[in-house]
Chains A and B, each alone.
Chain A
Amino acid sequence: GAVVSQHPSWVICKSGTSVKIECRSLDFQATTMFWYRQFPKQSLMLMATSNEGSKATYEQGVEKDKFLINHASLTLSTLTVTSAHPEDSSFYICSAPTSEPYEQYFGPGTRLTVT
């Protein structure tokens, strides 16, 4: 199957700082990538759709100025959590779809802890 990586796998930052998370499709190109947030013992919550070369599409209730998404190439999307607060602490997961068949492949996730 296709491989998606995420970096870092975990990060601890202080309140008020910004954190960047990278998502890479290693063996395929993805014009679209997806960013999810997952709280303990819950399912995935789609935050936004990252579109290569254009603006991301955010789900209702997700602050686009707080969660900056950049999809500068066909293999890399980044999520920057700006001015992080403790309530932003969560497990962030990205996915990238293959085209034929259309299947989502997930990264291993990034555990963000804001102190």
Chain B
Amino acid sequence: TQLLEQSPQFLSIQEGENLTVYCNSSSVFSSLQWYRQEPGEGPVLLVTVVTGGEVKKLKRLTFQFGDARKDSSLHITAAQPGDTGLYLCAGVKGFKTIFGAGTRLFVKA
């Protein structure tokens, strides 16, 4: 069974704090994606990382793909209430996408 473990499952922080979300697997992925979902809406693709060790930045969000392409992290700097939502990582292997269980982030003003 290919699992993509995501942690933490829930995170409640104050505005301005930093946080990191992790996705780990024993499987090697050809690429990995991060999504953000707000209540009542579908997930929105934030980034795709493809190369081992790749780092991508999206404003205050930094995404990293592990050297072995088995894990990834999402770091948010100076979190804002607008960052509140469900963050999902998804590993791609062939034509199969495996989703993590999600991290529910709540940023308090």
Contact = CB atoms under 8 A, between A and B. Distances in A.
B45 A1 contact: yes
A43 B100 contact: yes
Q: Is the interface of B mostly helix, strand, loop or mixed?
A: strand
B31 A101 contact: yes
A47 to B, nearest CB: 13
Q: How large is the interface on B (under 10, 10 to 19, 20 to 34, 35 or more residues)?
A: 20 to 34
B100 A103 contact: no
Q: How large is the interface on A (under 10, 10 to 19, 20 to 34, 35 or more residues)?
A: 20 to 34
B16 to A, nearest CB: 25
B45 A44 contact: no
Nearest to B98: A46
Given A41-B104, A43-B86, A101-B48, A109 B31 contact: no
Interface of B: 30-31, 33, 35, 40-45, 48, 50, 86, 88, 90, 92, 95, 97, 99-102, 104
Interface of A: 1, 4, 6, 32, 34, 41-44, 46, 91, 93, 95, 97, 101-109, 111
